[in-house]
Amino acid sequence: MQTLATLDRCGNAPCLDFVNTVHSWLEPQPREYLESYSDLLRWAVDEGVLPRVRARRLRRLAESRPDQAQRVLARARELRAAMHGLFAAVAAGRSPGAGDVAALNAALDRTLPRRLLRVSASGARWDWVGADEDLESLLWPVIVSASELLIDGDLARIKACPSPDGCGWLFLDTSKNGSRRWCSMKMCGGTVKARRYYRRKKAED
């Protein structure tokens, strides 16, 4: 059984890894990896979308505003469900539901005005305005990642780990020939291989 600390990051995009914090979407009672705001912080740091210094500030802020942190967690899960709906549709070659697209647009509407371009002699980078004072700021890079993947990504390479043997986790296939099938060998690929081996053994007996 995986924990949040060992959770596979096989999505190849922060938005898809975020969707994959439920395992799995195909099960009636899926495992929830984001049980608290603190889990959300930990996930974002491990994902590489939240600097540790900022995470420490947000943790202190969350401790002083527990109700607000709880609301952000609820909003994060809602957004995750919308992103799942959206990208699962793309993976299946369908048009996403209008509600899921609207949810992402609403999130972008809150997020994009907070973007700030920083430029120095060594180069330019995106930063955020007021991220240390906003408990929702840990979601901003994930929200931007979703829009960037949709606009710039190769949509044909967004795939779902196939049911019934696979788990429905979503990933961007970055393999050379685009032949990746499973979320990961640790989760599904290995299980399927083991099951096939078992079936073959049984047939031989």
Give CA–CA dist 164/158, Å, rounded. Answer: 18
Residue 118 or 186 having the CB closest to Zn ion: 186
Give CA–CA dist 195/138, Å, rounded. Answer: 39
Q: What phi, psi does 170 have (nearest 5°)?
A: -105, 145
Q: Name the pairing type of β-strands 158-160 and 22-23.
A: unpaired
Residue 19 or 188 having the CB closest to Zn ion: 188
Give CA–CA dist 25/81, Å, rounded. Answer: 9
Place of tokens 């973007």: 115
Least distance (Å) between residue 44 CB and Zn ion: 22
Residue 62 or 167 having the CB closest to Zn ion: 167
The upper half-sphere exposure of residue 125, i.e. CA atoms within 13 Å in the direction of its Cβ, equals: 7
Which pair of tokens denotes residue 204?
């031989």
Residue 11 or 153 having the CB closest to Zn ion: 11
In the complex, which residues of this chain contact Zn ion (CB under 5 A)? 161, 166-167, 169, 183, 187-188
Give CA–CA dist 2/7, Å, rounded. Answer: 6
Residue 131 or 161 having the CB closest to Zn ion: 161
Least distance (Å) between residue 183 CB and Zn ion: 3
Residue 42 or 180 having the CB closest to Zn ion: 180
Name the DSSP letter for residue 5.
G
Least distance (Å) between residue 18 CB and Zn ion: 16
Residue from 4, 142, 139, 130 nearest 72 by CA: 139
The upper half-sphere exposure of residue 44, i.e. CA atoms within 13 Å in the direction of its Cβ, equals: 28
